[in-house]
Structure 1
Amino acid sequence: MTAVQATTVHTPTADGAADAYFTHPSDGRPHPAVLLYMDAFGVRPQLTAMADRLAANGYTVLVPNVFYREAAAPVVELPEIIDPQSRPEIFEKIGPMMQALTPELAMRDAGAYLDWLQARPEAAGGPVGLTGYCLGAGLALRTAGTYPHRVAAAAGFHGAQLATDAPDSPHRLAEHITAELYFGHADQDHALPEEQIQLLDSTLTEAGVRFRAEVYRGAPHGYTQADTAAHDEQATERHWSELLDLFERALRPAVRD
């Protein structure tokens, strides 16, 4: 892995400017671009460390604060370890932020994030990769379906509400997706029950989307987040292996061509 260079940036949007974390290899060369979508707890040291790990593997990464309309990151004060006892109080604060981020606003912002990222000299030309966690998995899926010609690969881990009865459920964009997808679902996840996993799989299959979805047995919702009590190291490393394999397969050929 290589050394990285990181900074806080502000990406212009139709509603202002989103603060974001931007990291890339420090070798002065352009690299495949990745948009990393945060979980509900927001942009914080845990997510910036994950972004740096991606960058160290040869990617130019943007991590936007999707709640920027409400507050700059960190959007709420968090304990050192987010445990079940602290979650209710935290969600009292971030719940309204999640509700305010409608699919329409989120996808308008997504276009702005992609514009900014793809225009950077640190980013190689061509479509980008997406990865998202919890809330961010749904945003990654929506972005792949809303901007199909700009996304080559998208991954979602311990995603929430990916295939519901709602008319604007993320899975309903499947017919537009051209990217290769990967999902690492959490086992017995209250935020993504078995029936949603099955509906997501069947919808993507019927739409002809290239995808692979796996349930990480024994891994709880939020398993990739080392600053939470849900963290599962083995599942997290499995997620890294699958994510890097996906990006190597889907993003590197575009750069070589």
Structure 2
Amino acid sequence: MSGVRIRVAIVDDEPLARLAVKVRLAARSEFELVAEYGDGDSALEGIAALRPDLVFIDVEMPGRSGIEVLSALPRRQRPMTVLLTAWDNYAVQAFDLAALDYLLKPVDDERLDEALDRALHAFPYRRDTQATTMPSQWLRSFAVRSGTRTLLVPTGEVERIEADGDYATLHAGGKTWLVRERLHTLATRLDPRVFQRVHRSTIVRLDQIAELRALTNRDALLRLRDGSLLRASRTYMPALADALDYLNQKTA
């Protein structure tokens, strides 16, 4: 996406946490750091004035929290948001604030790059004064080959997606389909309220998870409705836990 410059602000009371994000941003020419803040009160004032396109913001800070900062901004002034946190518990209302992603501290480089790629994908769908992304941005079907035919597999039929080198394998209704896209790319194009990446090699449709069992190393074991067992790594657990809470609230 040539010529794109996404203006970024970082909000975190820990200087080392801000530095970790800045180092990764410096390696991506599409992003420009325009401000950093060490507390929620100054962040609220600065974001309202500067109107950055994207903000990385700590969930828990002394004084005003990251969620409170976002909630205090008028909906049309809220930037795309990636939440940073050292904890595994999240506020479900973050989905209503259109958070793009959640990163667990210490921030994993691959997860941070995935969040940046998601922002790049969402950015063209944003109106100049609109903070939420348009619903049409999310992938609705997959184009797959079957012999000489090209078939469309709706995302609602896909139970999980697994990495296969430079490709990905869809599991849908007992069938498998090969998609000519990397799992990393697909993760940025799927609605996070419906699909979540749970491991470097796996994306799962949330309503297919029948059981989640926490493991001692902060990973988790997932059992899907078809009986499949999958491992969810700690790197992806924050976004997964919050997405499941959100799903449970919506279906309660």
Larger radius of gyration: 2
* Shorter-chain TM band: 0.3 to 0.5
**Structure 2 length as normaliser, TM-score?**
0.35
**Structure 1 length as normaliser, TM-score?**
0.35
Determine which structure has the larger helix proportion and give its number: 1
Determine which structure has the larger strand proportion and give its number: 2
Greater relative CO (CA pairs within 8 A, separation 6+): 1
